[in-house]
Structure 1
Amino acid sequence: MKKILLASIALVLAVCFTSCSYEDPIGSKVTVYPIITLNGDAITVITEGATFSDPGAVATIGDEEVELTKTGTVDANTPGVYNLYYSAVNEDGFSAEKRRIVIVLSAAPSTVDLSGTFYRNGNPNNVVRIADRVYTADNAGGLSLSDPSILIKFTFYNIDDTRIYAPYQEDVSATGIDVESNIGTIISPDNFTWVLYASATYGTAVRNFIR
């Protein structure tokens, strides 16, 4: 019996030595992503001809400040919307990015008053003027009032009496929708259009509002 048992053990060892192989454990590595912190506000609104000084940003990886890359420029003498991007990359190739939006408004007093109630498909959107070229809207998507939890309420700007824009804003509905508009068009004091970049509820349709 002992001979049979010893023979069996010897056979197992022989097979293992000839066919079993050691597999290296799967390697793992912790990577620390860059963090970009803007100096100043993410949205800056100035009047045409004013001086714009970029407050910049800081990039860190862990406790160490690292090189930051900036792209984009601002022409403070030309009304429009400008984007400045700040980015950094860690040693493993993982990146992070932050954006600053700079809105340059025409210095001329606006001749277009967009305050009042506008309609899209019969749905009201109440627009309130809070300063020259600065407005709020309480149903920016022009949706039915049957579900008020998804109605978008935000601030937008009349850039130069021909263009309007709503910068990126968070939690603009009761359900927490974030939104930004394209640079929309003022067709007349009684008619404007824009596209909203929000949740799937809104899509990317051109939204036409008529007073």
Structure 2
Amino acid sequence: MKKVIYSILICLGMVVLSSCEDTSADISKVTYFASLELKGETAMKIKLNDTYVEPGFVALEGDEDITSKVEISGVVNSAKSDIYTLTYSVANVDGFSVSEQRNVLVAAPAFASAYYGESKVGVRHYVNAPIHIVDNNDGTYSIDDIMGGFQFHGLNAGLEPAYDLHAEAIIKLEADNSISLVSLGSWAPELGLTLGLNSGSYDPVTGVIELDVKYGSTNQLLVTLTK
């Protein structure tokens, strides 16, 4: 009787082992996730009415080149000063996708233009924030963030639209190319920060704007806008 039971257990073990081997063979598979690398800069600049030339990109799935499968969404309208975002995406054979972005600034020769903002407060330093200055046609200009992107692009990136982190302002370009603050719009009152403008200047040759912004009670926020 013992021999019979022992023989049955051996047979059951062989069946289970065979079943496990078959199952493993069915689900064993290697997945290579796609990789995507942009050539050139991810924050580019071109002049108004110049032609945008795509720097290129490379996509791989393991050792296989899948660059031809990359899709690009977004367009650059070089006839209008703005910052345009191009999104590059590609998926592997299993549908897992990866994406990268490139910003292209179309710069106008006038003071009113799109800019990249650089902001510094102490050890905090952020670059390539999209900033826009619009001519109000009354001697003043609207800037969509006098902080140069310090809050919405750097310190608290991703918190909009829940919080209004753009500090809109009306500014004036004086005859000597200094910049004065006319008025400041409302923004994120929950932060309890007082803003102002200590000084500002515009270099018409380089197109660079320098702003010394009063940020809070003691901090100095240095902003540089380039196009």
Q: Matched residues in 1 for 2:46 and 2:12: separation?
A: 77
**Is residue 83–residue 130 contact of structure 2 (8 Å, CA) maintained in 1?**
no
Identify if the C-alpha distance between structure 1 residues 180 and 136 changes in structure 2 by more than 3 Å, giving closer, same or farther: farther
Within a 5 Å distance, the mapping from 1:72-87 to structure 2 comes to 72-87=74-89
- Partner residue, 1:11: 5
The 3-state SS of whatever aligns with 1:83 is strand
- Partner residue, 2:20: 24
The total of aligned residue pairs comes to 161
- Partner residue, 1:186: 168
- Partner residue, 1:37: 37
Q: For structure 1, list consecutive stretches of 5 or more residues without a partner in the other structure.
A: 1-6, 112-131, 140-147, 196-204
Q: Matched residues in 1 for 2:125 and 2:70: separation?
A: 35
Identify if the C-alpha distance between structure 1 residues 135 and 87 changes in structure 2 by more than 3 Å, giving closer, same or farther: closer
The 3-state SS of whatever aligns with 2:85 is strand
1:137 has 2:133 as partner? no
Q: Matched residues in 1 for 2:86 and 2:192: separation?
A: 26
Identify if the C-alpha distance between structure 1 residues 95 and 104 changes in structure 2 by more than 3 Å, giving closer, same or farther: same
Which residue identity lines up with residue 14 of structure 1 in the other structure? I
- How far the C-alpha of 1:44 sits from its partner, in A, is 0.6
Which residue identity lines up with residue 108 of structure 2 in the other structure? S
Within a 5 Å distance, the mapping from 1:62-101 to structure 2 comes to 62-66=62-66, 67-101=69-103
The 3-state SS of whatever aligns with 1:12 is helix
- Partner residue, 1:61: 61
Structure with more helix by fraction: 2
Which residue identity lines up with residue 45 of structure 1 in the other structure? K
Q: Matched residues in 1 for 2:119 and 2:110: separation?
A: 23
Q: Among 103, 108, 111, which residue is 2:105 paired with? A: 103
Q: Matched residues in 2 for 1:157 and 1:19: separation?
A: 67
The 3-state SS of whatever aligns with 1:9 is helix
Q: For structure 2, list consecutive stretches of 5 or more residues without a partner in the other structure.
A: 135-141, 172-180, 198-227
- How far the C-alpha of 1:14 sits from its partner, in A, is 2.6
The 3-state SS of whatever aligns with 2:168 is strand
TM-score (norm: length of structure 2) = 0.54
**Is residue 118–residue 125 contact of structure 2 (8 Å, CA) maintained in 1?**
no
